[in-house]
Structure formats: C-alpha cells, structure tokens
Structure 1
Amino acid sequence: MVLPNVLLIAAFTYRPLLTNIYYSTLNWTLGSPTASKVGLGNYREFFTDPESLQVLWTTAIFTVATVGGAMILGLGLATVLNRPLRGRTFARATIFAPFVLSGVGIGLVWVFIFDPVTGLLGAIIRGFGGTSPQWFNDPKLALTMVIIVYIWKNTGYCAVIYLAAMQAVPADLVEAAAIDGAGRVRTFFSVVLPLLSPTTFFLLLTSILNSLQAFDLIRIMTPLGNGTTTLMYDAYLQAFGGYNRAGYSAAVATILFGILLVMTVVQLTLLERKVHYS
C-alpha cells in the first residue's frame, strides 16, 4: 500500500536531488548539448570566491531577521488575540491572510508602496517634509525592504500557531499562578511561555527552512539582487540570470541543501529534547 507513494517520492524528490548533485560536478552552460566534468571545481570556486561570502552573509542576515521578527511579532499578536476582544475572529483572519496570498502579488503591491517617486510611502514621507529613501538603489535599504515585507507576510502564520498553543495551555496552571500572586507578565513568562516551547521549536524549524528558500518576493522586488542575493536567489541568477552556468548553479543549490539538512538534523536531535514538559 505504501509502495506507490514511495515510488512517487523517489521519482519526483530523490531522483531530481541526485541529478542536481551530479550536475554540480559539471561545467555546463545552460542549453549546451555538451558538458565537461570538473569534479569539485564548482564547489572550490564557490568557497574561494569573495562574492560567495557576501551571499552567505546576506542569507544569514535575511534568515535571522525574518525568523526572529516574524516569531516575536507573532507571539505578541497571539497574546493580544488570546484575550476576549470584539472582532477577534475577523482580526485573526486579517492577520493570517498575507501568509496565504501570492508572493508575486504581494511583491508587486509593496514595490508600488516603496517606490520613491510614485509610491505611497514616499508620498507620506514627503507630506511630512522629508525625502523618500532610495530603497531599490541602496543595497542595505533593499535588503531591509525585503525583510520588512517577508516579516509582514509570515507574522500571521506565527501568530495563528502561537494562538492555538496558548488556547491549549491548561487553565488550572494560570489560575494557580494567579492565586500565588503572579501578575499577567509574571504568569506569561513563568508559566505560559515555557509551555509554548514545543510550538516555538516547531515555528523555529519551519520558519528557518522557509526563509532559506525564499525566492518569489526577492525576485519581484529586487530582480537584479541588489544587496538581496541569498543562496536560493544566487542559484537562480547563476542559471537563469544571464550567466547560464547550470553546473555552478547546481553546486550552489546543493550547498543550500546541505545547510538545510544539517540545520534540520541539529534542531531535531538537540533542541527537541529540551522543549517538552510533562
């Protein structure tokens, strides 16, 4: 009964993975009918290229900022929505909506908002007598812009997951803390937050994997990768951005896969042991 699913996974997941690893050992120009074997030459070039260090640094900044920002804001929103407020159901749906919307559509809307000439944000800044920053020309501002949009898109996901976990916290523990004289802040940090550690672990794992594989927003908002070239986007640019270096692109993708694999194994083996409470 399991065999058909195993065959599908092998055909559409593991076979492309192994094929990509093989391509990473070739010096292959995209579209060329021939390719020469270079062994680990593509990997050697990546780790000796000064620009690769910048790509790794950009990837690290983007991942840490987006994961941390979305989780912290999501936790704050979940705390607010966990209280009996009017319109709470509508607020939950509104907050979660950006996560399920198309990344391409979101990117196009935010490109208009950040446009320094015709954008909404620029108009607001000029209304207060200021000058709109050149979001698309400055590499640091471009990365900041993409980080802001990615956090906005994923905060709702973290908020909904945290909210579901908060509603599962035993009420008797919260009541016992109140009887012992603990205020809301002390109860949250001493009772609720520790019980949310399995959820925090789950969100940390999934958010890191999603951030490392972010592509659509970066592609739409910064097509040339001006300061926003992560590992995922670098693999795209090397193959389809004018370089046509399919073999080198496959090597970059394989390096990204290795990073994802190592981080997943480390998190599953080390962190999961510390997040469950009996």
Structure 2
Amino acid sequence: MKEQSPLAANAAAVSGTARKTSLLKALRRNAVGYSFISPWLVGFLAFTIGPMIASLYLSFTRYDMLSPAEWIGLSNYVNLFSDDDRFLQALKVTFIFVFVSVPLKLLFALFIAILFNGSHRGVGFYRTVYYIPSIIGGSVAVAVMWKQLFGLKGAVNGILAMFGIQGTNWVASPDYALSTLILLVIWQFGSPMLIFLAGLKQIPGDLYEAASVDGASYFDRLFRITLPMLTPVIFFNLVMQMIGGFMTFTQSFLVTAGGPLDKTLFYAVYLYQRAFTHFEMGYASAMAWILLIIVALLTALIFKSSSAWVYYESGGEK
C-alpha cells in the first residue's frame, strides 16, 4: 500500500480541521436562531401539533370527558354522513354562507379600496373609520347590537316604518336570518380592504400614464391594468377569507344561536354544541377533521385554478 506523502497528509488534516470549524460555527449560529424561535416552537408543538394529534385519535373514539375514551373506529365518520341530518344542514348552511359572503365581501372591499387609493384630503381618516368594523366585528357587543338592529323593534324596522313598510323580526325569520349574518360579515370588510390598498400602491403609475396617452378609458385601465396586476392580492384575500368563513362562529352563536329551524346553524356552532353541550368530544373531533379536509381541498382547488387567472409581473401567469 502506497504511503501518503507528508504534504498530502498535512493538507487533509487542515481540510478536516476547517470542516470541523465550519460545522461548529454553523451549529453555533443555528443554536442562536433556534433559541430565538424556541418560545414559538414550544407553543406550536404543545398547542397546535399536540392537540391536532390528540383530536385525530379522539375522532376514532367515544369520549365524553368523564370516562376513558373508547375506541370505535370509523363509527363517528359513518354516523355523520348517514345518521345526522343536522350535520348535513350545518354543511349546507356554511357552504351557502361562505360562497355568498366571501365574494360580496371582497367585491365591496375592492370597491372601497379603489375609491380610497389616492391622496385626497381626509382619506386617511376614512380608511381608519372603514377599518374599525373589522377590529370590533367579532366582539360580543357587536353581535348583540346586530341582533337589536334587526330585531322586531330595531332600528331597521324603524327606518322601514318611516316609508310605510311593515318589518319583521329579521334574525328570527327562517327566510332572512342567514342574510342578516351575511350582511354582518360583509360589514367587516376593513382587513381585505387594507390589503387591496397595499396591492394598489404597488401598481406602477407608468402603466396608467401610458394607457391614458393611448386613449384608454377608466374602465379599460381598470380591467386591463388594475385587476390583472391585483390578481395575486385577490388570490391571497380569497384564500384567507374562505378559510375564515368556514370557521365563523361568533355571529351565528350570539345573534341567532343557530336558529331559527337551524337556518343559521354554522358548522362551527354545531361542532361546539356536540362538544360542549352534549359532551361528545370524539364526535366533535371527527367533525373538526372533516372541516379541515374540506378547507384543505377547497384551498388546493383555488391554488390549482390560480394558474389560469393569477398574473405575476415577473413571469406572467403562474
């Protein structure tokens, strides 16, 4: 066997030492980074991943929090779709709510954002005023106020009476209760409005100037410049509002309590009832995982469709 020359051995030793030094530096640098994120990491593992794993296990059990969990396999999932009319009603109501409220909310937010996209006098004040409902919209006080506004003796019926129109108890009417909750959610358009405003600020002004020189009308600029350039922001708002819509709870629980006749029985409200009213934690866990799957599938569908309508300036449509 040929012996290694002293020079080659020395080079190998130096290279090995350099690698060890580089590795130690990387470990030291990563250790500092992990120490900074450790509070979030511990919280994520303890309060997100841990409960998710526990709920997945409980979804295959019969568990009432008073006795040990009893393994029952897929019975909870089978019963949900085959023997629970209220579950199907909650799904129906929630889908109607999401597919009506989210597009209307985004359209209204975009309309207001376009109006406020400028440096007019007082525009900052009005942006703040229009954003306030998003801050307080999920509170108990607003839900109670909304219930009073659309009650039999509320302000809405008072205004209608001025025009000789006899109103009804809107939140207690099976025909109108869901519509009142949709209006409440649309009223909370401030958050997507601010995101749309940020997106509008990123559109180069040169595009509008060139279009004006070419004689483009306002609607030409809107549909050929503003909306195409804003599609990434529309995409983001659509995903976030869709996810939030499926998790809506406060409005239905406080304003209508899921009634009348389960016409406003949102999925989250029914899940809460099964978990904390009937103490069927295993059944509620199965409902939670079904909701997760539904939201994940719809989100994946939106991502899949984005290649056909989302425009990225750096590389065309993705």
The TM-score bracket by the shorter chain reads over 0.9
SS in 2 for 1:136: helix
CA distance in 2, matches of 1:275, 1:50: 42
In the other structure, the counterpart of 1:6 is 41
Query: Which structure has the larger Rg?
Result: 2
Higher RCO, 1 vs 2 (CA within 8 Å, ≥6 residues apart): 1
Q: Does 1:111 align with 2:147?
A: yes
- Is the contact made by 1:25 and 1:37 (CA closer than 8 Å) also made in structure 2? yes
State the Cα distance separating 1:138 from its structure 2 match: 2.2
1:42 maps to 76
Alpha-carbon offset, residue 100 of structure 1: 1.1
2:235 corresponds to 1:201: yes
1:181 aligns with 2:181: no
Q: Distance in 1 between matches of 2:200 and 2:242?
A: 22
Moved more, 47-56 or 161-170: 47-56
Matched, 1:86 2:121: yes
Select which of 86, 95, 98 maps to 1:63.
98
Which of 220, 223, 228 is the equivalent residue of 2:257?
223
Deviations 1:92-120 (A, max 9, x none): 00111111115122111111111112x11
In structure 2, give the amino acid aligned to 1:2: Y
- CA drift at 1:229: 1.3
Q: Is the 8 A contact 1:201 1:275 kept in 2?
A: no
Q: Return the offset for 1:275.
A: 3.1
CA distance in 2, matches of 1:56, 1:186: 40
Q: Cα RMSD (Å) of the superposition?
A: 1.8
Map 1:132-151 onto structure 2 (within 5 A).
132-151=167-186
Q: 1:276 matched to which residue of 2?
A: 312
Unpaired runs of at least 5, structure 1: none
> What secondary structure sits across from 1:125 in the alignment?
helix
TM-score by structure 1 length?
0.92
Q: 1:60 to 1:269 in 2, by over 3 A?
A: same
2:157 corresponds to 1:157: no
User: What is the percent sequence identity of the aligned residues?
Assistant: 29
Shift of 1:86: 2.7
Separation in 2, partners of 1:19, 1:248:
13
Q: Identify if the C-alpha distance between structure 1 residues 160 and 272 changes in structure 2 by more than 3 Å, giving closer, same or farther.
A: farther
Is residue 284 of structure 2 the alignment partner of residue 239 of structure 1?
A: no
After TM superposition, give the deviation of residue 269 of structure 1 in Å: 4.9
Q: Is the 8 A contact 1:215 1:232 kept in 2?
A: yes
SS in 1 for 2:219: helix
Q: What is the count of residue pairs matched by the alignment?
A: 274
Residues of 2 paired with 1:86 and 1:112: CA distance?
A: 35
